[in-house]
Chains A and B, each alone.
Chain A
């Protein structure tokens, strides 16, 4: 059974750094792209980016490039999303999700339960 289990909710101050995690199980972690999706309060989903754990190839949405870093540790089947300096506007629910295959057409077939990030002074 495919499972993506995310780290718990975080409350941070503006300017602080943060790294959240997503541990995959039940499939070959290195063979599928895994990425992140943002959901701001009361809004829809936005694609942040993805990483291919097999070779660490990473793709970002232009809206998030330079704002976050996506990484993965193959040894523990875990993907990460990190910020070096949080802003209040980063407050959102962040979901990890894996692509269905290693090649197009891609779509997210399994999702994590979400990690709520609250940034407030």
Chain B
């Protein structure tokens, strides 16, 4: 059971906007920044969003991050087939002294 809670799956059609939620508690999301990673199995996970809503260089602005209280979400607009991957949220946890992660959401582009 992961510390952060994500839906196991999400789907959308090309061009659509999809949102993936992530909920936690006061020791993690509630008091710290949220991060999002994209992972295609067999490859290195890739940082998509840092500090709740910032995109690293090279990440398209189709990807947006939001945080409110102890929850966060990742929005992907203009969905493309290459967005089909697993998405993980993460946040520093003050109790652990390290990062905690969600269980991952598998995004399918129909």
On A, residues with C-beta under 8 Å from B are 4, 37, 43-47, 49-50, 59, 61-62, 95, 97, 100, 104-114
Contacts and interface: CB of A to CB of B under 8 A. Distances in A.
Contacts of B90: 45, 107-108
Contacts, number: 66
Contacts of A112: 44
B33 A107 contact: yes
B88 A106 contact: no
Contacts of B102: 44
A45 B88 contact: yes
A46 B3 CA distance: 9
A40 to B, nearest CB: 11
Interface residues of B, number: 26
Contacts of A107: 33, 35, 47, 50, 90, 92, 99
Contact of A100 (B44, B50, B101, B104): B50
A43 B98 CA distance: 19
Given A100-B50, A105-B92, A112-B44, A49 B98 contact: yes
Q: Across the A-B interface, give the 9 residue pairs with the lowest CB-CB distance, nearest first.
A: A44-B103, A45-B101, A47-B98, A111-B44, A44-B2, A111-B45, A113-B44, A44-B104, A107-B35
